[in-house]
Amino acid sequence: MTDYVSFSAFLAESPVILGEGAVIERLRRAGVDLDPWLVNSALVYAPAGRAALATICREYLDIGARHDLPLLLSTPTWRASRERIEAAGLAGSDVNGDNFRFLDELRRSYGAYGRKVLICGLMSCRGDAYRPAEALSEDEAREFHSWQADALAAAGVDFLLAATLPALGEAVGLARAMAATGMPHVVSFVVRPGGTLLDGTPLREAVAALDAAVSPRPVAYLVNCTHASFFRSALLHEANSSPLVRQRVVGLLANTAALSPEELDNAAELVEESPGTFGRTVAALHRDLGMKVLGGCCGTDGRHIECLAAELSGSPVR
């Protein structure tokens, strides 16, 4: 573990926490070559790739520092499972640890502000995050994801985050793998406006099932890769949400496009809303629903996170 505050304390003590914006999508838009297996995880081993990754991460760090907001960064390990590392020809390399150390070095370069920055060890489902039919069963997921959870925990991340999860079964197994490390952990779903996961599980059932099946249970839940309007509709859904959901879900890493996962997956061009609109609508979730962790996902860049930070901190956009 690092010498930084625990995520549970960080969450309890912070009125609001700024999340980073898109990383992989921005690298792709910039023409950076991404590994077919590891996506952006291998960039830390090449000077040009490392520099491209650092430029984006520093932009988010600069925004957080400028507005004096606590910041959440994710390790570039979304696809860094053991099978993908081996397929990429990097067996024996500490890909998860090296990506954490890359981010930790950036964080420490920000001096006192760096102590307001927490780094989560990022994990996700084995298959396509937009295709719940590809999800692993609970037992398969526990076995598959344990290796990466252990690697990230050993590296010293501040907590573990399993994000962009479309189905309950794999989420339970993945959460059990994270819980077994003894690390604080958070689960983040993709949701539909009707208050369900992509596999059709109502949010109220998903949260209750995970809380009951995983020990220790997740510190909290997030939603990501979902537009703010979809998120608001899902959390307030009369039948598929619940007071427990609104208590345990603490934030959103939002898309800029009010499109379904299927529509996003088939979009030929980037669909985005203006940074000002994004900042206002996402920040309103803090005021209206008490959401604490707010940041960006697909379609966002520094402009969107700058506008969001300005709304959250009450300072003018520069």
- Domains detected in the chain: 7-313 (3.20.20.330)
Terminal Cα distance for the chain, rounded: 36
pLDDT at position 211: 98
Annotated binding-site ranges:
225, 297-298
pTM: 0.95
pLDDT at position 3: 54
Handedness of CA 11, 122, 72, 240 (dihedral sign): negative
Q: Are strands 117-123 and 220-227 parallel, antiparallel or unpaired?
A: unpaired
Annotated binding-site ranges for Zn(2+):
225, 297-298
Q: Per residue of the chain (318 residues), what is the pLDDT tens digit?
A: 345 568 888 999 999 999 999 999 999 999 999 999 999 999 999 999 999 999 999 999 999 999 999 999 999 999 999 999 999 999 999 999 999 999 999 999 999 999 999 999 999 999 999 999 999 999 999 999 999 999 999 999 999 999 999 999 999 999 999 999 999 999 999 999 999 999 999 999 999 999 999 999 999 999 999 999 999 999 999 999 999 999 999 999 999 988 777 776 655 566 678 999 999 999 999 999 999 999 999 999 999 999 999 999 987 555
- The continuous run of DSSP H or E covering 249 comes out as strand 249-255
Residue 260's alpha-carbon distances to 27, 192, 231, 242, 272, in angstroms, are 23, 7, 12, 23, 13
Q: Which residues of 159-187 are buried (b: 16+ CB within 10 A; e: fewer)?
A: bbbbbbbbbbbbbbbbbbbbbbbebbbbb
Tokens of 144: 């598959």
Residue 290's alpha-carbon distances to 57, 249, 255, 281, in angstroms, are 27, 10, 19, 13
Tokens of 314: 């009450």
Contacts of 186 (CB under 8 A, 6+ apart): 7, 120, 159, 160, 161, 162, 218, 219, 220, 221, 222
Tokens of 143: 């076995």
Tokens of 269: 């061009």
Using only the alpha carbons of the chain, give its radius of gyration: 18
